Amino acid sequence: MKNLVILVSGSGTNLQRIIDTIDNGEISDARISMVVADRECYGLERAKKHNIENVLIPRGKNFSSELAETIPANTDLIVLAGFLSILKPEFCEKWNGKIINIHPALLPKFGGKGMWGHHVHNAVIEAKEKQSGATVHFVTSGIDEGEAILQKSFEITEDDTPETVAEKVHLIEYEIFPKAINKVLNNIPI
Ligand code: GAR
C-alpha cells in the first residue's frame, strides 16, 4: 500500500477527487496518510470529514522546516493539489521524483511565479488562446518546470470567460489527476 501526502491551500476539489478515486479503485493500492495545508481552507475540512490525518502549517518564517519535519519518512508520493506555497530547492531535491503538481494550464505556457488559479485563466483569455487545459508534472526547484506526466487540452470558444475556462479546466483535472497518480505510483513510463 503506497502512502500519499496531499498538500492543499484551497477548496480541495482535487483532493476530494483523489479521496473518491482511491475509494472506487481508480487509484489502486494507495492511501492518503496525511493532508497538509498552508492556511485555513476547505481542503483541510475535507480531510477532517474523511478522518485523514491533517496538519495546518501556517505560511511564514518556519514553514519550510516544519513542512520538512512533518512529511512522514515512509511517504511514496507528495501530491500538490491546489497548493500555493513555493517549495524550497532542498525539499524538491530530497523528494526528487516523488512530488507532483497539477497546474491549470498547458505548460510550459502560463506557468511560473504568480501563475495560479484565476490569474492563469485571466491570462489565457487575455492572450486570446485557442486552447487551455491542465498539466500534471513532476516538481523541481524551477517553478512549473518539471517534466510533464499527463496533459489534456480543450478548445476555447468565443463565449468563454476566465470563469468558464476555470470550470472546464477543473473537469479535465478530475480526469487526468488520478491517472497521473497511478502512472507515477506504478512506474509506468511517461
Ligand atoms: C486547481 O485548478 C489547480 O490546478 C490550481 O488550483 C486549483 C485548486 O482547486 N493550482 C494552481 O494554480 C497551482 N499553480 P481545488 O482546490 O478545487 O483542487
Each residue's pLDDT expressed in tens, for the chain with a length of 190 residues:
999 999 999 999 999 999 999 999 999 999 999 999 999 999 999 999 999 999 999 998 889 999 999 999 999 999 999 999 999 999 999 999 999 999 999 999 999 999 999 999 999 999 999 999 999 999 999 999 999 999 999 999 999 999 999 999 999 999 999 999 999 998 887 7
Atom of ligand 1 nearest to the CA of 42: 16
Q: Which of 17, 32, 30 is nearest to 175 (CA)?
A: 17
For residues 177 and 20, the answer to whether their CB atoms sit within 8 Å is no
Report the pLDDT value the prediction gives residue 187, as an integer from 0 to 100.
83
Please, is 124 exposed, middle or buried when counting C-beta atoms within 10 Å of its C-beta (0-12, 13-18, 19+)? buried
Is the distance from the beta carbon of residue 122 to the nearest atom of ligand 1 less than 6 Å?
Answer: no
13 carries a ligand binding annotation: yes
Is the distance from the beta carbon of residue 178 to the nearest atom of ligand 1 less than 6 Å?
Answer: no
Other C-beta atoms closer than 10 Å to the C-beta of 51 total: 7
Ordered by where they begin, the domains of the chain are: 2-186 (3.40.50.170)
Residue 89 CA to ligand 1 centre (angstroms): 21
Is the distance from the beta carbon of residue 132 to the nearest atom of ligand 1 less than 6 Å?
Answer: no
Report the pLDDT value the prediction gives residue 108, as an integer from 0 to 100.
97
For residues 133 and 154, the answer to whether their CB atoms sit within 8 Å is yes
31 carries a ligand binding annotation: no
Identify which of 14, 45, 84 to mutate to test ligand 1's pocket (most ligand atoms within 8 A of the CB).
14
For residues 58 and 39, the answer to whether their CB atoms sit within 8 Å is yes
Report the pLDDT value the prediction gives residue 33, as an integer from 0 to 100.
98
The type of residue at 119 is H
Atom of ligand 1 nearest to the CA of 8: 16
Atom of ligand 1 nearest to the CA of 117: 12
Report the alpha-carbon distance of residue 99 to residue 171 in Å, rounded.
Answer: 22
Report the pLDDT value the prediction gives residue 68, as an integer from 0 to 100.
96
Report the alpha-carbon distance of residue 105 to residue 119 in Å, rounded.
Answer: 11
Give, as one character, the DSSP assignment of residue 113.
Answer: T
Active site residue 119: no
Report the pLDDT value the prediction gives residue 38, as an integer from 0 to 100.
97
Residue 83 CA to ligand 1 centre (angstroms): 7
Report the pLDDT value the prediction gives residue 189, as an integer from 0 to 100.
76
Identify which of 18, 170, 181 to mutate to test ligand 1's pocket (most ligand atoms within 8 A of the CB).
170
Report the alpha-carbon distance of residue 66 to residue 116 in Å, rounded.
Answer: 24
> What residues contact residue 156 under an 8 Å CB cut-off, 6+ apart?
124, 125, 129, 130, 131, 132, 165
The type of residue at 53 is E
Report the alpha-carbon distance of residue 1 to residue 31 in Å, rounded.
Answer: 7
User: What's this model's pTM, rounded to 2 decimal places?
Assistant: 0.96
Report the alpha-carbon distance of residue 75 to residue 60 in Å, rounded.
Answer: 24
Report the pLDDT value the prediction gives residue 188, as an integer from 0 to 100.
80
Report the pLDDT value the prediction gives residue 24, as an integer from 0 to 100.
96
For residues 19 and 32, the answer to whether their CB atoms sit within 8 Å is yes
Match 513532476 to its residue by C-alpha cell: 138
